[in-house]
Structure 1
Amino acid sequence: MNRILIECVQGDIAHQPDIDVIVNAANARLLPGSGVAGAIHGAAGPGLAEECRALAPIEPGQAVMTGGHGLPNDHVIHCLGPVYGVDQPSGQLLADCFRHALQLADQAGLESIAFPAVSTGVFGYPLTEAAAVAAGAIRETMPTLEHIRRIRLVLFTAEDLAAFRAALQDSGLAQS
């Protein structure tokens, strides 16, 4: 696991020019929306929504990959996180988002991936719990990855950043 750098930063997921693929906290129809999906689709331009149309709908825990369009990234992985208290089992479905995104990126031979705090916005997943699930899923998946060399968690607020840093530390994952 030492060969993979884990980073936890505050910022905008749509502005990660040094990353091969960013993860979109998508809705089932893969349409532009609010929050992360709105920021990514806004930065990517209308070509992203056009490409997504053929891939939708997806189910909670699933992930699909598209081109980056107007983004500085070559690819976007769209994950549908669970709606907390509705989609069950929430923990497994959220972990599946992280696992499936990492596997898709690795299978494509990509070396770097950036994640937002999936499901913690309008989907209502409690921040601390979501951070712990994400850290556990990353830790479990890392030994299977052949190409990924950098995993970045991009958190929008200082509160999000603190929760994810604590979860990474609790899971034994070093971060910068």
Structure 2
Amino acid sequence: MNQIKYTVTPDVLASKGIRFANFIMDYIAQVVIGIAIVVLIGLISELTGSYGLYELVIESEGRLSDYIFGAIILIIYYLTIETLTARSLGKYITKTKVVLYDGSKPTFNEILVRSLCRIIPFEQFSFLGEEGKGWHDSISKTYVVDIAKFEAKKAAFDDLDEIGRIGE
């Protein structure tokens, strides 16, 4: 007998509004982390009298160095938290999470691809399409789902699958 597997459907996906809220909350978290790192570097530089890292990170002028600093924070933020929990701070607040097409938790490599894709210039505008899926979702083949809808639908699917196995 053919085994039917669960797949994520559009009705369990997080809305564009929720995705935007996730983006804003995660961006604020990254800014706070960036400020904390700058303060920490400043304190360490003052305490040690060594200003090499301070000059490299804080006093460097130019948008490229700012972009690189921000990109490093972004990658570390998402890679760490989404690898461990499949959720970022914004996703915790909005009760959403990242899953694969079959509802399973993404691996480190999938989260790495997802995180790296976020630094593609203008990636945020990729949500303007009708599907409401960003490039970091499409390229990494991941989905952001509403946990309550996702778990209810997956439970119903598993129950039906169990019923189907009883008749075998």
TM-score scaled by structure 2? 0.27
TM-score scaled by structure 1? 0.26
**Would you tell me which structure has more helix in proportion to its own residues?**
2
